[in-house]
Amino acid sequence: MCGIIGYIGNKEVVPILINGLKRLEYRGYDSAGICVLCKNKLQTLKKKGQIIELENELIGKEIVGTIGIAHTRWATHGEPNEINSHPHLDCKNKIAIIHNGIIENHFSLKKILEADGHKIISNTDSEIVAHLIEKFYNENLEEAVIKAIKYIEGTFGLAVICETEEKIIAVRRGSPLIIGIGDNEMFVSSDASAILEYTKKVIYINDNEIVTLTKNNYNVKNLDGNLVNSEVQEIKWNLNEIEKAGFKHFMLKEIYEQAKSIENTLRGRIRENKIKLSVDIDPKLINKIIITACGTSWHSALIGKYLIEKISGIETCVDYASEFRYRNPIIKNNDLLIAISQSGETADTLAAIRIAKNCKTLGIVNVVGSTIAREVDFGIYLHAGPEIGVASTKAFTCQVSALILFALHLRQELGLELDFGLINELILISGKINSILDKADKIQEISSHLKDAQNFLYLGRGINFPVALEGALKLKEISYIHAEGYPAAEMKHGPIALIDENMFVVFIVNRGEIFEKVVSNMQEVKARGGSIITITDCPDDEMIKKLSNFIISVPNTCEELSPLINVIPLQLMSYFVADAKGLNVDKPRNLAKSVTVE
């Protein structure tokens, strides 16, 4: 959700904070602000809109210093405007805070603080934290923060500075926070991308830990004030991985990275005719697998169910994490819960693994050191590299690749023979993905005819039904065109009523046993005047040619791997439609990359 960054050192702080905010902008981009300890006074500047607006506002302003905090916001409480943006200050402008998360009891705290005489000026949940700290402040910021957060219910990643102390205090519960250790300088941030160009040495802060940063030192304590021994880790990403490398948008760059990123997911995990995963689970003892996730990761989970059941024969069910956590799910001791998350910070997915206390948990996660990655019993990292575009692309294909590996691993550990045809095809899949990317011009040309459409249906069957869902999600989130995904055969149970000459229907049709049935669905659409865009490995089939307004041909592969192929043109199509509409592809309205609030 929101992005936070703080710096303390010898360098001029404003450029470092602005640079950090730009890297964090994918987490939220409706307003931003900065607060600097400047000549023993806190100087604050906030601006509605993107970081560039704040940067422009800073021109000609005398805000200088070597200690500061900054925030880019994704509004939860209170509209995006200057008053509601962070940093928030106490009544005397001596304490400033930035916050990521939600203070659930802010109403009751507000009443108490106002009764105490505090003047709360914004409509946010966050501002009360500055006033609570003010209430407890007695010349020791760390102590005041510890006292204040004892009253807070909800989630927070917080960074706090104060006019009279040369330090930054940071604390977390439920929202990500890392500290970066440089030479005579320290950083605090929501994630590594903001500090990567200054240092690769980081500490991942755990819930209920508080950090005090001075320019030469850091200490991490628990909330009883006892020092905690924290491991300093090395970030493996490089700066060029978080830059656009000549692409117009991060999303396009990440679409093009998929062949490579899948190779990275597979690397070292298929050796000597064996699947090598460090997942020490005996599948003979697994009763049932439950996969939980949100958004695009939930679509991968649906494909995962299909793969695991087909390849290993183990019963698998899939749940939205947001539903799972509140419905008292039946979890047996010998069940396995799999959480899939690109960011490893999605609040609902994290909550889902926390309620599965009695069974083993496995995380399929991209961001190394993220909270989900640290809380599960076993993990499969995607190694997809940083995904910055809000619309998830390479994480999806890497998640599906990891799920194929895991399904094969289960089969192998059950003592069943592996399908080497499938494994060899998996090794070759990157080349096939690149062959689709080579035809992006054609997909761009088709997309130019679609940019004014109002409604889309995406239809697929079997393992490609979740791909239809993913195609629809990609289109709606970045182009704001209404789109729905359905299993093709479900169309006649309702959605067919929507079809007229204004409806575009995207079919995913692969050769195989249900080919004819999907072609029949195409006929039903055609008969009602709908326009058809067909993604197919049978572009020369006479019926396909007759029924389709546009055909995007894809290479043939085995059914299990077809989602990896079919999703690529759908991602490109969404991208080109949104770009043709002139929309901000990497920062679609109302969305944030990492949803760390409920």
**Chain residues in the site for ligand M6R (CB under 6 A):** 294-297, 341-343, 346, 349, 390-392, 473, 477, 591, 594-595
| Nearer residue to ligand M6R within complex by CB, 458 or 515 | 458
Given the complex with ligand M6R, which of 146 and 301 has the nearer CB atom?
301
Q: What is residue 69's three-state secondary structure?
A: strand
DSSP SS3 for 313: coil
Rounded to a whole number of angstroms, the minimum distance from the CB of residue 591 to ligand M6R is 6
Q: Distance between CA atoms of 464 and 509, rounded to whole angstroms?
A: 9
Provide the total of helices (H) and of strands (E) in the chain, helices listed first.
18, 26
Instruction: Name the minimum Å distance from CB 251 to ligand M6R.
Output: 9
User: 27: which DSSP letter?
Assistant: G
The CA distance from 561 to 543, in Å, is: 25
Could you tell me the smallest distance in angstroms from the CB atom of residue 172 to ligand M6R?
Answer: 18
Q: Which residue of the chain is nearest ligand M6R when measured via CB?
A: 295
Parallel, antiparallel or unpaired: strands 95-103 and 88-89? antiparallel
Task: State the Cα–Cα distance between residues 146 and 236, nearest whole angstrom.
Answer: 33
User: Of 518 and 573, which has the nearer Cβ to ligand M6R?
Assistant: 573
Q: What's 268's DSSP letter?
A: T
Sequence-distant (6+) residues with CB within 8 A of 271 are none
Q: How far is the CB of 585 from ligand M6R (least distance, A)?
A: 12
**CB 321 → ligand M6R: shortest distance, Å?**
8
Rg (CA), the chain: 25
Measured from the CB atom, the residue of 124 and 341 that comes closer to ligand M6R is 341
The token pair at 140 is 């020791």
Angle in degrees, CA 182, 380, 210, rounded to 5: 40
Residue with smaller CB distance to ligand M6R, 193 or 346: 346
Rounded to an integer, what distance in angstroms lies between the CA atom of residue 326 and that of residue 302?
20
Q: How far is the CB of 595 from ligand M6R (least distance, A)?
A: 5
Catalytic residue among 135, 253, 587, 593: 593
Q: In the numeric block, which tokens belong to residue 515?
A: 């080919």
Minimum CB distance to ligand M6R smaller for 152 or for 585: 585
- Is the CB of 410 or the CB of 478 nearer to ligand M6R? 478
Least Å distance, CB 328 to ligand M6R, is: 23
CB 388 within 8 A of CB 241: no
Contacts of 319 (CB under 8 A, 6+ apart): 290, 291, 292, 329, 352
Do residues 95 and 160 lie in contact, with contact meaning Cβ atoms separated by under 8 Å? yes
**For residue 335, which of 358, 303, 304 has the smallest C-alpha distance?**
358
Residue 2 annotated as catalytic: yes
Angstrom distance (rounded) from CA 458 to CA 475: 10
Nearer to ligand M6R, 294 or 554 (CB): 294
DSSP 140-197: -HHHHHHHHHTT--EEEEEEEEETTEEEEEEEEEBS--EEEE-SS-EEEESSGGGTTT
Burial of 16 (0-12, 13-18, 19+ CB in 10 A): buried
In the bound state with ligand M6R, the residue whose beta carbon lies nearer, of 122 and 341, is 341
Least CB distance from residue 491 to ligand M6R, whole Å?
24
Cβ pair 204, 374 in contact under 8 A: yes
| Helical segments of 49-116, H only | 51-58, 106-115
Looking at 2, 38, 359, 398, which residue is catalytic? Answer: 2
Nearest-approach distance from CB 366 to ligand M6R, in angstroms: 8
Residues labelled catalytic: 2, 593
